[in-house]
Amino acid sequence: MIAALRSGAMGGRLSGLLLVALPVALLIWLVLWPVLQAMVGTVYFPGTGFSIASYTYFFTDAYSLRNLWLTLWVTALTSVLRVVVAMPIALYLRFRTGSIAALVQALALFPMFVPSVLVAYAFIRVLGPNGIVDTVLVALHLPKLMSPYLTPAGPIIGLVWDGLPLTLLLLLSGLGRVSIASVDAARDLGAGSWTLFTRIILPRIQSSIIVTLAFNVLGLFSAFTLPFLLGPASPEMMGPYMQRTFSDNADPLNATTQAVITFAFCAAFGLIYVRAIAKGRKGTA
């Protein structure tokens, strides 16, 4: 680290490369190389040459496009919902201490320890048909709930629940950099809550929000268990769709093509994060 800092002043080209060498080597060896092989396998066929037929098929197949579209909007909606739900909790936790705050945090982070399969089971037992909510409603002589199980709302509820901790943790760690003193000072100068939030807090946690969204997009694009167990049979999200193409249809070519397409969407989002980081660096350098 010391070396890094010193040479950082001198440009740090070599020490930078040295510091990232190990993870990058692991990445190239066990991820990038296999990914590249898989990608090439979708366009180059030994003996017959290049072909982009599987991509043409995907983008002309209404069924595949409907699945992609569903994935996109479930991803967008779920990410926004997660941030909207997590942000007030994060703000509260940042500026409050005490045992209630500790309990709130412990509770809000709890879904992290619940494996998806169990989330699905708990969901079915609670919100599912004749689940505990229905049981209570019937006992109170009220009409039963319109169960979200096997409807498009099912996986969204499950995913928001399941993803709350990660979103909260990332926002909270970003908020850790907002000093209570600066917020207090601004409040003493007469700034309202909304002004405080938009003028002082938001700018400082920008990179955290972007990284939160990036992780949400990544996770949702490949989400499998919850959409599969809680959602309707069709349209499918890309995760279950790829899995089905791969094992049930025994069609690795089209499955890998779908994988490359999802990957491209995730990479596009990753690029936004990288650009934000690069911008931040220039801004403060």
Partner 1 sequence: MNRREFLMAGAAAGLVASTRFAAAATRLDMYTASDANISDFFNNVVKPAFEAANPGTELNVVIARPSAALDAVAQRALAALSAKADPQLDFIEQYEPMLPAGGIEAGLWTDFQKADLANYGAVNKLAIQTAYGLPYRGSQVLLAYDATKLPREKAPKTFADLAAWIKANPGQFIYNRPDKGGSGFNFVNRVVHEVSGRDPLKFKVDNFDQATADDVLGKAWAVLNDLAPSLYEKGAYTAGNTASLQLLAQGAVTMIPAWSDQVLQAIAKGVLPENTGLVQLGDLALCGGFSQAVVPTNAAHRDAALKLADFMLTQEMQTAVIEKLGGFPGVDWSNLPKALHDKYADVIPSSIPTFPSGEWTKAVQDGWYRNVAPNISRT
Partner 2 sequence: MTDLAPISPFDASPSAVARIARRAPVDWTGIAFLTGLAVVILLPLVVTAVWAFAEVWRFPAIVPQRMGLGYWQETLSRHDVWQALWLSLSITTTVTVISAAICFPAAYAFARLDFPGRNMLFLAFLSVQAFPKFGLIIATATIFLTLHLIGTFWGVVLIQLVGTLLYMIWIPVSAFQGVDRRLEEAARDVGASPMRVFWSITLPQALPTLFAAILITFVNTFYETDAAWLIGLPNVRTMPMVMISFINNALEVQYGAVLFVFLWVPSFLLMLAARRVMGADAFAKGFGG
Interface positions with partner 1 (CB under 8 A): 63, 66, 124, 128-131, 147, 149-151, 228-229, 232-236, 243-244, 247-252
Nearer to partner 1 among residue 208 and residue 262 (C-beta): 262
Inter-helix orientation angle 62-94/53-60, to 10°:
80
> Could you give the angle at the alpha carbon of 23 between the alpha carbons of 268 and 10, nearest 5°?
90
Residues whose CB falls within 8 Å of the CB of residue 11, separated by 6 or more in sequence, listed in order: none
CB 251 within 8 A of CB 184: no
Of 278, 253, 92, which is closest to residue 171 (Cα–Cα)?
92
DSSP conformation class of 130: T
Among residues 81, 170, 201, 220, which is the contact residue for partner 2, using CB under 8 A?
A: 170
Choose the contact partner of 75 out of partner 1, partner 2, none; CB within 5 to 8 A by kind.
none
Choose the contact partner of 34 out of partner 2, partner 1, none; CB within 5 to 8 A by kind.
partner 2
Min. distance of Cβ 113 from partner 1 in angstroms? 20
Told to check if 55 binds partner 2 by CB under 8 A, we report no
Told to check if 216 binds partner 2 by CB under 8 A, we report no
Q: Which stretch binds partner 2 (CB under 8 A): 50-58, 67-75, 76-84, 99-107?
A: 99-107
Question: What x-and-dash track marks residues 128-147 binding partner 2 by CB under 8 A?
Answer: --xxx-xxx-xx--------
Told to check if 169 binds partner 2 by CB under 8 A, we report yes
Among residues 12, 145, 153, 232, which is the contact residue for partner 2, using CB under 8 A?
A: 12
Q: 27-65: b or e for each residue (b if 16 or more CB lie within 10 Å)?
A: eeeeeeeeeeebeeebeeeeeeeeeeebbeebeeeeebe
Inter-helix orientation angle 153-175/62-94, to 10°:
40
Of 219, 104, 266, 99, which is closest to residue 172 (Cα–Cα)?
104
Told to check if 272 binds partner 2 by CB under 8 A, we report no
Q: Which stretch binds partner 2 (CB under 8 A): 46-54, 62-70, 148-156, 172-180?
A: 172-180
